[in-house]
Amino acid sequence: MKKMFFLVLMCVPLHAFSQSWLTKEEDYFFVSTGVDIRNAIFGGTVNDAAFDGTYSIGYRNAGFSILAYYENFSAIRYESAGLNPGYVFRPGKILVPVADISLSFIRRPWKVFPSLALNTRIEFHFSKFFIYLRGESRWRTDYDFFQVSVYGGISYKFGFPD
Q: Which fold has domain 22-158?
A: Porin (2.40.160)
pLDDT band per the 50, 70, 90 thresholds, residue 16: very low
Q: Residue 33: beta bridge partners?
A: 55, 154
Q: Distance between CA atoms of 78 and 84, rounded to whole angstroms?
A: 19
Q: pLDDT digits over 78-116, tens only?
A: 999 999 999 999 999 999 999 999 999 999 999 999 999
Is residue 82 a contact partner of residue 105, using CB atoms and an 8 Å limit?
yes
Sign of CA dihedral 35, 73, 149, 115: positive
Q: Give me the mean pLDDT over the 27-50 stretch.
A: 91
Dist. CA 109–CA 78, nearest whole Å? 8
Mean pLDDT, all residues of the chain: 86
Q: Is the pLDDT of residue 6 over 90?
A: no
3-state SS class at 96: strand
